[in-house]
Structure 1
Amino acid sequence: LIHLTPFIDEFGVIRVGGRLQQSNLLYQHKHPVILPNKHNITDLIIQGEHKHQWHAGVEQTLAALRKILDTESESGVKSVLRRCVVCRKENARCLNQIMAPLPKNRLVETHAFDNVRIDFAGLLYVKEGRTISKIYICLFTCMATRAIHLEPTSDMTAQNFLAAFRRFISRRGKPSVVHSDNFRTFKLADKYIQDLGPWCGGYWERLVKSVKTALRKVLAKAQVSREELVTILCEIEAPINVRPLTTISDDSSDF
C-alpha cells in the first residue's frame, strides 16, 4: 500500500493520501477508503452499491465504487455479483434439452432415397413470355444420406405434387417409407410428424434453408425463365449433395 501514501483519519479509517488536498472535490473522492479484498465489510459495501445502481453489471458497479473506495478488484466485484439472487434469476440460462435417440430410419444403411422426407419451399417467380408465374419447390431428402432432390411445381396441389413424386420415383427409385408434415397435400403419406411439433422436421427444414440461401445468393432479384430455374435447381443439388456430413469447423457461419 506504500504507493497509495495511506493515512488513518480521525475515525480510524485507512484512506488514500495523494496530492489532491487543495482540490474542490469531496473528501471521500480525494481520499477514498482502502478496504481489504475478500472481507465481509468489503462484500457488504459492494452489495449495497450494486443495489443502489439498480443491479447494474460489473463495470458500472466498479465505476460507482471507485468514487468512494480505492478498489481495482474486478474479480471481487464479479464474485459478489454472482451471488446476487436477483441477478441470478434474471440472467439464468435455460437448460439444454436432452435429445431423444435418432429414429431407426436415419441410422440403417440402405440405398439413397429409400426413406425420404418431403416438404415444399417457395414462393418463387419465373418469366413466361410477358407474364410472371409462381413456382414452388418440392424437396425430397434421404433420411440416411441427407441427399436432396428438387422438383419445381406450379402450385402445391395434390395433382402437381403427385406429378413431381412420379418424376422423383422415375429418377431415384421407389422409396420404402415417405415422411411428411401435416400439410393437406401430403394426407396420403406413410407417416407424419406429430401435431404442433414443427421441431420434429428440423433436419429437413435445415436443408430447405440451404436451398433458399443458395437461391437468394444466385438469383437475388433476377427474374429467370422456368427452364433456367430448373437448371439452377439441378446445379444447387450438386454441391449440397457433396457437402461434409461431419463437423469440420466450430464456426456456425462456415456451414
Structure 2
Amino acid sequence: MCRRFEGGAYKMPAMAPLPKSRVSQDVPFSSDGLDYLGTIQVKFECETRKRWICLFTCTVTRALHIEMVHDLTSEEFLYALRRFNSTRGTPCAIVSDNASQFKLSSNAVQSVWSQVIHDEDVQNFASNSGIRWSFIIELLPWMGGFYERLVGLVKPTLRKTLKKKLLTDVQLQTILKEVEAIINSRPLVYVGDDINSRITLTPSHFLSLNPKVGIPEIDFDIRDPNYKRCESSSDKLLQLWKKGQRLLNSFWAIWREEYLIGLRERMQT
C-alpha cells in the first residue's frame, strides 16, 4: 500500500558522461575495441575447418576492421594484430572483454582466449608497440557495448549472406572485407529529407577521400583558385593534399555538430 501511494513516477537516471576516448577528435583507429566472433566453417580440401573473426572497432569514428584467424592461438592473434597495425596504424589503446566474460561458444574457448590475451608474447608486442591494453570491469558488460554493437551487425549480415554455404578461405576473406566496407558506409547521423543538404556522415568518410568508395561530392568551395596554374607535379600533389585536408575538416565538423549531439539522446521503451 505504501509503495502504491508514495512510490511516485519512474525517473530515468541521468546518463553518465561518455569516456574521453569516445568524444575526442583523433586519428581513426587510435583507440579501439576488440572482440572475437565465430565459428565459421570453411572448405579445406576434403574436410571442413573452423575459422574465427577478430573485430576491431574505432571508438571515435565507429569504423570497423575485420581480420580472419585460423585458430585461437596467441600466434594467430599476433599475426592479425600485426596486419591491423600495418593497415590502419598502431593504436594507442585497445579495450576488450575480460577472459571470464569473453562471450564465445564454450568454456573451452574462453580458457583459450584467456591464454591468448595474457600470453607473454602478446603482452610484450603490445608494450613494445606502445599500446595501452585495458579490460572492461567484470560484471559490467555494457562497458563493451560500443564494439558489441558492431558484433551484432556483423553476425546477422554473415548469417544472411552465407546461410548454409561452405566457402574457401579466400572466398571468406573476400566476403569479410565486403561486409567491412558495407558496415563502414552506414550513416552516423540522421539522413535529411533535402538531397542538397550537407552530406550524411559515415565511418568511410574518415578512412578514404576517394570518391569511388562512396564519398559524395560536397558543395563547398574547397579548390584553390590557383590550382590550374600549378605547373610542377609537387605543387599539384600539395594542392590535392590540401583539398583532402579541407574535406577531412568538414567531416570532423559534422562529427562534432551532429554525431556527438546525437549521442546524448536516450530512447524510452
Two-structure CA RMSD over aligned residues (Å) = 2.4
1:196 Cα shift? 1.5
Q: What residue number does 1:105 align with?
A: 21
Which structure shows the bigger proportion of residues in helix conformation? 2
Query: Where do 1:161-240 residues align within 5 Å?
Result: 161-183=77-99, 184=114, 185-187=116-118, 188=123, 190-240=133-183
Contact 1:121 1:136 in 2 (8 A): yes
Rg (Cα) greater in structure: 1
Higher RCO (C-alpha under 8 Å, 6+ residues apart) = 2
Q: What residue number does 1:20 align with?
A: none
Runs of 4+ in structure 1 displaced over 2 angstroms? 92-99, 185-189, 246-249
1:150 partnered with 2:66: yes
Contact 2:64 2:180 in 1 (8 A): yes
1:158 Cα shift? 1.7
Secondary structure at the aligned position of 1:190 is classed as strand
Contact 1:180 1:186 in 2 (8 A): no
Q: How many residues align?
A: 163
Distance 2:67 2:13 in 1: 35
Give the share of equivalent positions with the same residue, in percent.
43
What TM-score does the superposition give when structure 2 sets the normalisation length?
0.56
Unaligned runs of 5+ in 1: 1-84, 250-255
1:97 Cα shift? 4.5
Select the residue among 49, 57, 69 that pairs with 1:141: 57
1:131 partnered with 2:62: no
Distance 2:20 2:55 in 1: 21
- Against the structure 1 CA distance between its residues 223 and 106, is the aligned structure 2 distance closer, same or farther, given a 3 Å change threshold? same
Shifted more, 96-105 versus 192-201: the winner is: 96-105
Select the residue among 91, 108, 114 that pairs with 2:30: 114
Distance 1:147 1:95 in 2: 34
Distance 2:47 2:159 in 1: 22
Unaligned runs of 5+ in 2: 100-113, 124-131, 193-269
Select the residue among 235, 241, 246 that pairs with 2:189: 246
Query: Where do 1:21-170 residues align within 5 Å?
Result: 96-170=12-86
